[in-house]
Structure 1
């Protein structure tokens, strides 16, 4: 294949990875909106749309494999393809976490803990992924370190939110009129909320992974990977 065609393939891979990130983040936004509004129709849409992400992931995976096998890339091109391969894996996992938000919406039966800012945490991790993908697109190594630093703040917010949920559970007053069903319902809701917080924290972790692979791609540095 002519070199021009090879470079075009590399450009298309980058564009398609960025396209995948846009679709995935829209799934996360819809999952959060479904959770906030208890929109079961929207939640099912998020869940059922996961196959589209999986199919796109497999297509891009195949593109990476073909570039490895047929073009035998070296140096910067090799790092770019390897990083892209890792990044689409992180994006596919973010999409799975968005699907979880849809599942939690369908399981939810009532509102608990209005002091826990799920939407605020969700907005923060979405912004982290957006910025990580922009760093990938622009090959911006400095932005990669900034994204990694922001993860500490997200982790702290998630820890505070989880502590609030657990503290309120401990302080909840149950008396002899509380049925076993009431108690089980409360525990299910608490568990769902803790899982939601955990999944949002994981999206932030995937943003850091994307930044780490981008730094490796740009500077051949594994500083953020380990």
Structure 2
């Protein structure tokens, strides 16, 4: 039974890695389509989403089947729970790639908006967060995952800076309103991608260390507010 469970987990690791690679590639192409104003590349992103959806469903069903058949405990159980959560997150990332690609197709038909902001750099940093969180998953490296948590605030700051730059641009050039609104949506999608990278990193920390980071943060805030004491048993 233990050998069969090990084989099943190894197979699931390969499948989640395959899905990760597909999603990463679609995100890369979506951001490239925005940067190069390439509607054909954007269309490829949209067409590539269906296989991602199918794989996400297959992986979830396989995880649930493994839980039912082998009733794993400890590390194996945490791995399966983490895989189910990461699997769902990857599907959502795939949807965000499609959303960005759809905006790229529309932007390609409009006048290009020029703002003093490195939007490509923001996209690259977000993609690095995704890559790092997935590398942490593959390696089972919670310390690497924690670096992703620290990077999220930077993307939030960049999102605010881009919003301000786009606001200034449309005030100076009101005829840019439509493309600016699309770029604002892309900025929001980029920020959500960073949030999903953070979620994957938190899942990795749980898988490796058995710790739920957001619970630790809430507890620290509660202790600072005097709601609970440092001696209160952790749940």
Q: Same fold (TM over 0.5)?
A: yes
Q: Who is 2:29 aligned against?
A: 30
What secondary structure does 2:213 align onto?
coil
RMSD: 1.4
The alpha carbon displacement at 1:187 in A equals 2.0
Give the superposition deviation at 1:33: 1.4
Give, in whole Å, the separation in 2 of the partners of 1:141 and 1:37.
Answer: 36
Answer yes or no: is the 8 Å Cα contact 1:113–1:165 preserved in 2. Answer: no
What CA distance in whole angstroms lies between the structure 2 residues aligned with 1:168 and 1:41?
A: 27
- Distance in 1 between residues matched to 2:40 and 2:116, nearest whole Å: 26
Partner of 1:198: 188
Aligned residue runs from structure 1 range 151-190, under 5 A: 151-172=152-173, 183=175, 186-190=176-180
Aligned partners of 2:134 and 2:214: how far apart in 1?
A: 16
Corresponding residue for 1:120? Answer: 121
CA distance in 1, matches of 2:130, 2:146: 13
Supply the distance in 2 between the matched residues of 1:95 and 1:117 (Cα, whole angstroms): 24
Aligned residues: 214
Off by >3 Å, runs of 4+ in structure 1: none
Aligned-partner SS, 1:112: coil
When normalised by structure 1's length, the TM-score is: 0.90
2:99 corresponds in structure 1 to 100
| Residues in 2 aligned to 1:114 and 1:8: alpha-carbon distance in whole angstroms | 52
Q: Following the alignment from structure 1 to structure 2, what is the Cα–Cα distance between the partners of residues 121 and 19?
A: 25
The structure-2 alpha-carbon separation of the partners of 1:18 and 1:77, relative to structure 1 and needing over 3 Å to count, comes to same
Question: If the length of structure 2 is used for normalisation, what is the TM-score?
Answer: 0.87
State whether structure 2 residue 17 is matched by structure 1 residue 7: no
Contact map agreement 2:115 2:169 (CA 8 A) in 1: no
The alpha-carbon deviation at position 107 of structure 1 amounts to 1.1
2:115·2:165 contact (CA, 8 Å) conserved in 1?
Answer: no
Deviation at 1:83?
0.5
SS of the equivalent of 1:123 reads: helix
In structure 1, the partner of 2:79 is 80
